[in-house]
């Protein structure tokens, strides 16, 4: 199978595409891939590391208010469509997959106009502008949240697959996670993550909460700050307490996140769609702090879907402080019945077979195309 992948801007769009490529390569070892992304997007550095051929187009997103820049964006879009058609004709894919971000707009649109079967995957409970636009042209829309297909009234076909990133994490080795953290097997771990770049509100809450961490001495707290908050956080906590709590470890970044997640007992995090797919695949109870600085407040909608199912507690930023965060952590980590019920609820939402479901739909489209 010859597959073109496109999606970019953030890891939330890129990692699902890479998970689909990994699954497709595992199921169909003769598969060949081409990834078309943005010149300046994160995908331009991440994709080549996976040994997937990468080609770039120049495209920018629309501003949500009237602006001369939007005229330039339309021009770049049309140029991107022309460039994408050339790349597609050269590569001759059997199917094209778009996982969101404005870069996949011209790629998937061009593929649809060339009559190539196309799938878009929407990670969030509230779809992005690009996927809403593309849903009218593609063969299939795959969604991560059950019921969110209603956001695509013009789609030809909608399938509920979950997020392909779940497959990657589900197969991770938790023993390697304990080893990397230098903790005994089976240790209870609370993992606090502010996202790849960190989050100011979570950082401030962690500094405020630091004096209480020793009360849960049997629990190891792992706080991943993001590079920009690392030194300041360590300095602030040390200044506040005189020394670092023995059960708190502060890290700037975790390179083996799937393995660390696999041994995590409770996670505190933002509510990005890919991360939620990972934690539900593993059945990890969560305390979610949605970012208020995202389009259509989609992170809170993502988080509320887990909360309604009993898998998570949600703390919105105006209510976040050291006391509210520690109270939620203490409640879950000291009530084994609550922890078990949240874990079970998370597993009910998890779709560890997600990447396979997308690949299965790809194969169906390719077979149907061959019958015409």
Q: Where are the domains of the chain?
A: 2-163+352-371, 169-349
3-state SS class at 250: strand
C-alpha pair distances (Å), 74 with each of 23, 36, 55, 79, 148? 34, 19, 21, 9, 28
Q: Cα–Cα distance between 318 and 341 in angstroms, integer?
A: 27
Q: Cα–Cα distance between 224 and 250 in angstroms, integer?
A: 6
Query: Per-residue pLDDT for 329 more than 80?
Result: yes
> What pLDDT, on the 0 to 100 scale, is given for residue 95?
98
The superfamily (CATH) of domain 169-349 is Glycogen Phosphorylase B; (3.40.50.2000)
This prediction's pTM: 0.81
Q: Which residues contact 210 (CB under 8 A, 6 or more apart)?
A: 237, 240, 241, 245, 248, 322
Mean per-residue pLDDT, 111-131 = 92
Query: Per-residue pLDDT for 71 more than 70?
Result: no
Q: Read off the tokens for 343.
A: 């874990």
More reliable by pLDDT, 289 or 76: 289
Q: Which of 258, 24, 306 is nearest to 145 (CA)?
A: 306
* pLDDT band at 274; cut points 50, 70, 90: confident
Beta strands in 270-321 (DSSP E): 286-288, 312-314
Q: Read off the tokens for 43.
A: 């995908």
Ranges 3-17, 33-47, 176-190, 231-245, most confident: 176-190
Mean per-residue pLDDT, 12-41 = 94
Q: What is the C-alpha radius of gyration for the chain, rounded to an integer number of angstroms?
A: 21
Could you list the residues known to form a binding site for UDP-N-acetyl-alpha-D-glucosamine, using ranges.
10-12, 124, 196, 299
Q: Read off the tokens for 123.
A: 């990670």
CATH for 2-163+352-371 is 3.40.50.2000
Q: Cα–Cα distance between 34 and 190 in angstroms, integer?
A: 39
Q: Residue 23: phi, psi to the nearest 5?
A: -70, -40
Query: Per-residue pLDDT for 222 more than 90?
Result: yes
Could you list the residues known to form a binding site, using ranges.
10-12, 124, 196, 299
Percent of the chain with pLDDT over 90: 70
């Amino acid at each position: 199978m010859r597959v073109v992948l496109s999606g970019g801007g953030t890891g939330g769009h890129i990692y699902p595409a890479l998970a689909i490529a990994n699954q497709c390569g595992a199921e169909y070892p003769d598969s060949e891939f081409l990834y078309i992304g943005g010149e300046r997007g994160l995908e331009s550095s991440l994709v080549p590391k996976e040994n997937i051929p990468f080609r770039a187009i120049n495209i920018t997103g629309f501003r949500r208010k009237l602006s001369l820049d939007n005229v330039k964006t339309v021009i770049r879009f049309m140029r991107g469509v022309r460039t994408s058609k050339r790349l597609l004709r050269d590569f001759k894919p059997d199917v094209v997959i778009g996982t969101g971000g404005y870069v996949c707009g011209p790629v998937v649109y061009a593929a649809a106009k060339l009559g190539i079967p196309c799938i878009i995957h929407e990670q969030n409970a509230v779809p992005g502008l690009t996927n809403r636009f593309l849903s009218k042209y593609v063969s299939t829309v795959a969604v991560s949240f059950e019921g969110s297909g209603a956001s695509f009234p013009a789609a030809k076909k909608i399938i509920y697959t979950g997020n392909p990133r779940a497959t990657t994490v589900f197969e991770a080795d938790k023993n390697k996670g304990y080893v990397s953290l230098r903790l005994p097997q089976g240790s209870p771990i609370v993992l606090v993550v502010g996202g790849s770049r960190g989050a100011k509100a979570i950082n401030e809450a962690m500094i405020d909460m630091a004096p209480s961490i020793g009360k849960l001495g049997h629990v190891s707290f792992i706080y991943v700050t993001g590079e920009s908050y690392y030194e300041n956080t360590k300095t602030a906590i040390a200044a506040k307490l005189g020394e670092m709590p023995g059960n708190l470890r502060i890290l700037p970044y975790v390179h083996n996140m799937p393995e660390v997640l696999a041994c995590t007992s409770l996670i505190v995090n933002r509510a990005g769609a890919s991360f939620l797919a990972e934690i539900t695949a593993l059945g990890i109870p969560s305390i979610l702090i949605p970012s208020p600085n995202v389009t259509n407040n989609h992170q809170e909608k993502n988080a509320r879907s887990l909360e309604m199912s009993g898998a998570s507690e949600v703390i919105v930023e105006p209510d976040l402080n050291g006391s509210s965060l520690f109270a939620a952590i203490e409640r879950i980590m000291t009530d084994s019945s609550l922890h078990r019920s949240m874990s079970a609820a998370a597993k009910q939402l998890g779709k560890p077979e997600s990447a396979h479901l997308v690949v299965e739909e790809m194969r169906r489209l390719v077979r149907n195309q061959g019958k015409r």
